[in-house]
């Protein structure tokens, strides 16, 4: 049985998706921090970089967005017709107003990825006013694919594009055509708004919270959705068609206890932020992310197994592959991912591990490509990145270690203090005052203050150390008098 547990009472909205009591997905939406993916803006081109083949666009949110030349309508047309694509200088110029859509959120130092090929999503199809092609979901069988592709080509205007979604196979022609007309009308309205809107400004915003929930209800096998807010639950039920209502029950939670605590999922987010993930039988994963990539180390731990060593390693790696597929979704990890499995000698074992990972990723809605094992035995894969990883969304770099996960030792700081004091040799004054934590002061002074006395003699100055409390090893030279 599947369950979706929704907390939407407060300003921050969250929901958990689980199947047979196993948590599959975690979703968080903070006010002012929701994903911008799918939003449509009227922006202004700030800079055209011919060397990068891209333009930077001020769309009124954070850093300037990045718009590559391949993401312009004329170059989409060129790709499908086989003609020569236009360079960025022929696509836009600095100062130009342009309607753009966010493809990927801002991540780290990188601005949002933008496209000038606008997509409007309906229940059964995706409409592109300047898409130039017709496509059908790969999940639709071949006979229906041919029918839907024929309908799309018959209905669309030359410059338009249509993508038939999986649900289109179950809808009648009249339903699909009505939806296309509705999406066309929506785009025309958006164009009218853009003519009188200030630049930059938001033209169309997704209700990501409700849309993501609705998408999960559509693709899920069915079960129960329970929410703690009546209005949110009612709105979701009203948006749901008969196909959803036939397989899901909608339930309002009215208890006083927090809904996540009541359903025993309150610690799910905290666990998804931990560096170490334990597997069965004592093995574990160590997951570390940087802006460029995510690196995963597989450790056998206490797992020795009952079979020979190679079988033990294979079982551990297969277990790690299945868990890693789950963690990709829970943590919303994207970009380049490197998994350092326990070393396997047989190519057939490596293939089994890749197959286990591939099978576990079937339900993941984000596109993941398993590249294969490198010459060093590390499995390389990439996962489409649209939103920030969960850790980047919910946390910030530590003010103590500045995101490194490490801090200077008392010894390092004590020796650094000594170097700074040597630079003051010969300066005027008879006393140097220093504030330092107990550990730093102890290392600096040495046993029975032997180092402190040596420095005082060398400088011909009194060194006075005041011990202070601090959340990490610290010192500060306050004055020379």
Question: For the chain, which residues make up each domain, given as ranges?
Answer: 2-34+207-262, 40-204, 274-394, 410-480
Determine the pLDDT at residue 206: 80
Q: Give the separation between CA 452 and CA 432, rounded to whole angstroms.
A: 12
Q: Can you tell me the distance from the alpha carbon of 350 to that of 372, in angstroms, rounded to the nearest whole number? A: 9
Query: Which of 120, 110, 121 lies closest to 54 in space, CA to CA?
Result: 110
φ, ψ for residue 158 (rounded to 5)?
-50, -40
> Which tokens sit at 478?
């306050």
Asked if 466 and 433 count as a contact pair (C-beta separation under 8 A), the reply is yes
Q: Write down the CATH superfamily of domain 40-204.
A: Nucleic acid-binding proteins (2.40.50.140)
CATH architecture of 2-34+207-262: 2-Layer Sandwich (3.30)
| Secondary structure, 3-state, the chain | CEEEEEECCCCCEEEEEEECCEEEEEEEECCCCCCCCCCEEEEEEEEEECCCCEEEEECCCCCCEEEEHHHCHHHHHHHHHCCCCCCHHHHCCCCCEEEEEEEECCECCECCEEECCCCEECCCEEEECCCCCEEECCCCCHHHHHHHHHHHHHHCCCCCEEEECHHHHHCCHHHHHHHHHHHHHHHHHHHHHHHHCCCCEEEECCCHHHHHHHHHHHHCCCEEEEECCHHHHHHHHHHCCHHHHCCEEEEECCCCCCHHHHCCCCCHHHHHCCCEEECHHHCEEEEEECCCEEEEEEECCCCCCCCCHHHHHHHHHHHHHHHHHHHHHHHCCCEEEEEECCCCCCHHHHHHHHHHHHHHCCCCCCCEEEEEECCCCCEEEEECCCCCCHHHHHCCCCCCCCCCCCCCCHHHHHHHHHHHHHCCCCCCCCEEEEEECHHHHHHHHCHHHHHHHHHHHHHCCEEEEEECCCCCCCEEEEEEC
Count the Cβ atoms, other than its own, within 10 Å of residue 401. Answer: 12
User: What's the rounded Cα separation, in Å, for the pair 421 and 459?
Assistant: 9
**Prediction pTM value:** 0.69
Q: How far apart are the first and last CA of the chain?
A: 75
Q: What is the pLDDT of residue 110?
A: 85
Nearest to 159 by CA among 127, 185, 133, 139: 133
Phi then psi for 465, rounded to 5 degrees? -110, 125
CA 251 remoteness from chain centre: 30
pLDDT in tens, the chain (481 residues): 899 999 998 888 999 999 888 898 999 888 766 678 889 999 999 999 999 999 999 999 878 999 999 999 999 988 888 889 999 999 999 999 999 999 998 887 789 999 999 999 888 899 999 999 899 988 888 888 999 999 999 999 999 999 998 888 888 889 899 999 999 999 999 999 999 999 999 998 888 888 889 888 888 889 999 999 999 999 888 888 777 888 999 999 999 899 999 999 999 989 999 999 999 878 899 999 887 889 999 998 765 555 578 888 999 999 999 999 999 999 999 999 999 999 999 999 999 999 999 999 988 878 899 999 999 999 999 998 877 888 888 888 887 777 777 888 999 999 999 998 888 877 888 899 999 999 999 999 999 999 999 999 888 889 999 999 988 899 999 988 8
Q: Is 66 exposed, middle or buried (0-12, 13-18, 19+ CB in 10 A)?
A: buried
Alpha-carbon dihedral of residues 237, 242, 247, 248, nearest 10 degrees?
Answer: 0
């Amino acid at each position: 049985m599947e369950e979706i547990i929704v907390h939407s009472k407060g300003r921050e909205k969250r929901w958990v998706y689980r199947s047979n009591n196993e948590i599959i997905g975690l979703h968080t939406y903070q006010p002012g921090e929701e994903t911008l993916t799918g939003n449509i803006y009227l922006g202004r081109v700030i800079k055209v970089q011919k060397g990068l083949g891209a333009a930077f666009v001020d769309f009124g949110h954070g850093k300037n967005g990045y718009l590559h030349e391949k993401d312009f309508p004329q170059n989409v047309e060129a790709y499908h017709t086989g003609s020569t694509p236009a360079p960025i200088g022929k696509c836009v110029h600095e100062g130009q107003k342009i309607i753009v859509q966010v493809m990927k959120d801002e991540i780290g130092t990188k601005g949002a990825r933008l496209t000038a090929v606008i997509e409007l999503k309906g229940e059964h199809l995706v409409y592109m006013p300047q898409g130039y092609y017709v496509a059908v979901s790969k999940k639709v069988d071949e006979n229906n694919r041919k029918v839907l592709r024929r309908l799309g080509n018959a209905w669309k205007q030359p410059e338009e594009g249509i993508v038939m979604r999986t649900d289109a196979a179950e809808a009648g022609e009249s339903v699909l055509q009505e939806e296309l007309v509705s999406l066309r009308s929506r785009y025309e309205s958006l164009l009218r708004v853009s003519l009188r809107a200030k630049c930059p400004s938001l033209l169309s915003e997704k209700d990501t919270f409700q849309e993501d929930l609705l998408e999960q209800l559509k693709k899920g096998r069915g079960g129960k959705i329970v929410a703690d807010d009546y209005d949110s639950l009612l709105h979701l039920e009203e948006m749901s068609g008969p196909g959803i209502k036939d397989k899901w029950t909608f339930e309002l939670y009215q208890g006083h206890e927090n809904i996540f605590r009541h359903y025993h999922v309150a610690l799910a987010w905290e666990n998804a932020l931990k560096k170490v993930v334990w597997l069965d039988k004592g093995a574990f994963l160590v997951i570390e992310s940087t802006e460029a990539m995510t690196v995963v180390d597989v450790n056998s731990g206490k797992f020795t197994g009952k079979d020979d060593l190679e079988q033990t390693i294979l079982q551990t790696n297969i277990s790690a592959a299945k868990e890693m597929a789950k963690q990709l979704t829970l943590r919303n990890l994207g970009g380049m991912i490197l998994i350092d499995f326990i070393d396997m000698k047989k190519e057939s074992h490596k293939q089994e591990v890749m197959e286990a990972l591939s099978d576990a990723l079937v339900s993941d809605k984000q596109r993941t490509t398993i590249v294969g094992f490198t010459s060093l035995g590390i499995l390389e894969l990439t996962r489409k990145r649209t939103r920030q990883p969960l850790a980047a969304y919910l946390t910030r770099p530590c003010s103590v270690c500045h995101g490194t996960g490490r801090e200077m030792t008392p010894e390092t700081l004590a020796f650094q203090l000594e170097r700074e004091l040597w630079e003051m040799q010969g300066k005027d004054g008879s006393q140097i005052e220093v504030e330092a934590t107990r550990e730093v002061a102890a290392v600096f002074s040495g046993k029975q203050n032997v180092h402190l006395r040596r420095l005082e003699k060398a400088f011909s100055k009194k060194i006075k150390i005041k011990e202070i409390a601090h959340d990490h090893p610290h010192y500060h030279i306050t004055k020379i008098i």
